[in-house]
Structure 1
Amino acid sequence: MRFSLVVPTLGRTDEVRALLRSLTMQAVRSFEIIVVDQNDDNRLDPVIAEFTDRLSILHLRSPVRLCNHARNLGARHATGDIITFPDDDCEYTQDVLTQVDQFFRNDPATGFLTGSVILPGGTSGRSGRWLKHDSAIDSQTVWTCLIEFNLFIRRPLFEIVGGFDETLGPGTRFGSGEGQDLALRLLSHGASGRYIHRLRIIHPDKPVALNISRAFPYGLGMGRVMRKNRCDLATVARFLLRPIGGALVNAAKLDFPIARYYVMTFFGRLAGYRAPSPAAAAT
């Protein structure tokens, strides 16, 4: 098996159907899908049944509603050479797995690969400050060109570093940063990573109001990851100053909701960096 796609899901049906439909159009056929179902009902049964004749799907259930617990649970059942973790509301463009397969075959020294995001209509989204050019992943670029649903890792490396830190990410106090944390741990174990700008996965932008409500917990996650991975003080200062600048610029434009988003991001990052290490933090 070439690829294992681990899909944590909660509360969605139509979006899961759209993801699975997009996977039926991949030219590369050597992949398995591991759906980790955190719902307390059977809403996904008919959705998965629609595709069982076209896709290899393992349907797992988890009573624990934590995204990274679900990712790690699915990963323990994976058999593919390369493991990846699509969100349950994203879709693959037709050449995603072909691009990734060719890249890893041509560059056996690379341990993990990531790319960018486009909206369902094909335009660039607001998610992340994406680099406009290909780049190596290091402690600086990891913050501007990596997101979990577009992250492909050689499975032995994922297992060596212990998978995702389950004290980070959706459902926890530290609401984001688990992808950067994983990449930084991979780098610390000697793996190399690449960002390929043209490697795009479709994902919708969240409504502005939802982004504002997430600003503080997402900031907490980033601050926590910078502290946990002992990022240099210049990097920490840069990512604390950026939201202050964003708040001032948007306040000057009288765009107070976005200014509030940046303010909450700043306080979240600061609080996350200052927070004590969770007792159950992953290595």
Structure 2
Amino acid sequence: MKALVSCIITTHNRAELLKKAMASVMAQTYPHLEIIIVDDGSKDHTEEVCRAWVKQDQRIHYIQVPYAQGANHARNLGIQRANGKYIAFLDDDDQWLPDKIQTQTQTLEHNKALFCFCSKVLVYVDREDNVTRRKVSVESRELVFYEDLLTYNWIGETSKIMVQTQLARTVMFDEQLTSAQDYDFYLRILQRGHHAINVKEPLVHIYIHPGPRISTSAKKKFQGQRRVLIKYYKDMSQEQKKRQLHHYRMMEWSKNPNRNTLFLKNTLTLYPWWRNFTLLKRNVRTIWLGFRLRKQLRSETLNKEYKGTA
């Protein structure tokens, strides 16, 4: 008998995007699915859309959270409700390719494994929802172990993974973290001696749309990254500590321009990635994220100052 897979879709106030995500689940070539939609306190017409689906298909279950408590609280509710042997997560603004579940289920069953991830296609869209460009992102390593993950989150977004349900229930997402909960989730899985199998096929479309994908404020983003860094710092090698500190510090921002310049200089000295072309390519995204977060944090600060004078 084929293994049942629980597809957990978390959503918040994005009914129209949810329809596209749901369509990608319904188009899966693997038929043995249950679909759990966890609505994290939406105030739009998400409930109406979901209840209509439930009436049409008995595989679909709808969990409504009275008020927003965050994506990871929603994911944990889905994990608790899941009946499948495996769980696959999908964010409401991402989409699976048709063979995603089939390919990952076969991988886990064939290897008698508990955890895998796939490659992705980054899809950039403008404010009118027009696709401006696509970029395939493939990780080369076959397996990822705990020691590998201490250097960098090679696994990526939760929409890419599949995990054994019992293992997910043992670990769960840390709802106290303000960011990097997915990274923490993977670290705690691999810390138990497991490994992640890389299904190199790009089986997920990750949409990069205007406006921040970061659900928390920039300040909380810093706090979450710092807590994860401290949590696993003792297990890191000296090189890993340098790399992680560099990543965290590149996102730092201050009102004092002189301090920013000094901080940036010290950071680059700490981890001189520009001397190595491979590291240079790897850190381009970190730099971009750093400037984006600084801009976001500055915007939040100015908004508070404006409200304070109004």
How would you bin the TM-score normalised by the shorter chain? Answer: 0.7 to 0.9
Shift of 1:91: 0.8
Paired residue for 2:280?
Answer: none
Q: TM-score, normalised by structure 1?
A: 0.75
**DSSP-derived class of the 1:119 partner:** strand
Shift of 1:41: 3.9
For 1:55 and 1:188, locate their aligned partners in 2 and report how far apart those are by CA, in whole Å: 37
Equivalent residues, number: 247
1:116, 1:146 within 8 Å by CA — same for their partners in 2?
no
Paired residue for 1:204?
Answer: 207
1:116, 1:196 within 8 Å by CA — same for their partners in 2?
yes
Matched, 1:67 2:71: yes
Could you give the per-residue CA deviations for residues 92-143 of structure 1, whole angstroms, max 9, x where no partner exists? 11110111111011100x2211123213458227xxxx55414311232451
Shift of 1:220: 3.3
Paired residue for 1:236?
Answer: 241
1:143, 1:180 within 8 Å by CA — same for their partners in 2?
yes
Matching residue within 87, 93, 97 for 1:93:
97
Equivalent AA in structure 1 for residue 204 of structure 2: I
In structure 2, the CA distance between the partners of 1:216 and 1:237, relative to structure 1 (3 Å rule), is farther
Matched, 1:107 2:111: yes
Unaligned runs of 5+ in 1: 169-173, 250-256, 268-283
Matched, 1:190 2:198: no
Paired residue for 1:26?
Answer: 28
Matched, 1:124 2:135: yes
Matched, 1:44 2:53: no
Equivalent AA in structure 1 for residue 70 of structure 2: L
Could you give the per-residue CA deviations for residues 198-256 of structure 1, whole angstroms, max 9, x where no partner exists? 14311211437667x9655434323321321334142121133353459x98xxxxxxx
Matching residue within 207, 223, 227 for 2:226:
223
For 1:7 and 1:153, locate their aligned partners in 2 and report how far apart those are by CA, in whole Å: 15
Q: State the superposition RMSD in angstroms.
A: 3.3
Identity in percent: 21
Equivalent AA in structure 1 for residue 246 of structure 2: L
For 2:227 and 2:159, locate their aligned partners in 1 and report how far apart those are by CA, in whole Å: 20
Equivalent AA in structure 2 for residue 78 of structure 1: A
Shift of 1:16: 0.5
2:15, 2:44 within 8 Å by CA — same for their partners in 1?
no
Matched, 1:82 2:86: yes
For 1:217 and 1:85, locate their aligned partners in 2 and report how far apart those are by CA, in whole Å: 23
Equivalent AA in structure 1 for residue 142 of structure 2: S
Paired residue for 2:6?
Answer: 4
User: Which one has the bigger strand percentage?
Assistant: 2
Paired residue for 2:284?
Answer: none
2:13, 2:42 within 8 Å by CA — same for their partners in 1?
no
Q: TM-score, normalised by structure 2?
A: 0.69
Q: Which has the larger radius of gyration?
A: 2
Unaligned runs of 5+ in 2: 124-130, 251-266, 275-286, 298-310
Shift of 1:47: 2.3
1:114, 1:152 within 8 Å by CA — same for their partners in 2?
yes
Paired residue for 1:150?
Answer: 160
User: Which one has the bigger helix percentage?
Assistant: 2
Shift of 1:158: 1.1
For 1:210 and 1:151, locate their aligned partners in 2 and report how far apart those are by CA, in whole Å: 19
**4+ residue segments displaced more than 6 Å:** 208-211
2:138, 2:202 within 8 Å by CA — same for their partners in 1?
no
2:30, 2:101 within 8 Å by CA — same for their partners in 1?
yes
Equivalent AA in structure 2 for residue 167 of structure 1: Q
1:16, 1:89 within 8 Å by CA — same for their partners in 2?
yes
For 1:182 and 1:115, locate their aligned partners in 2 and report how far apart those are by CA, in whole Å: 17
**DSSP-derived class of the 2:182 partner:** helix
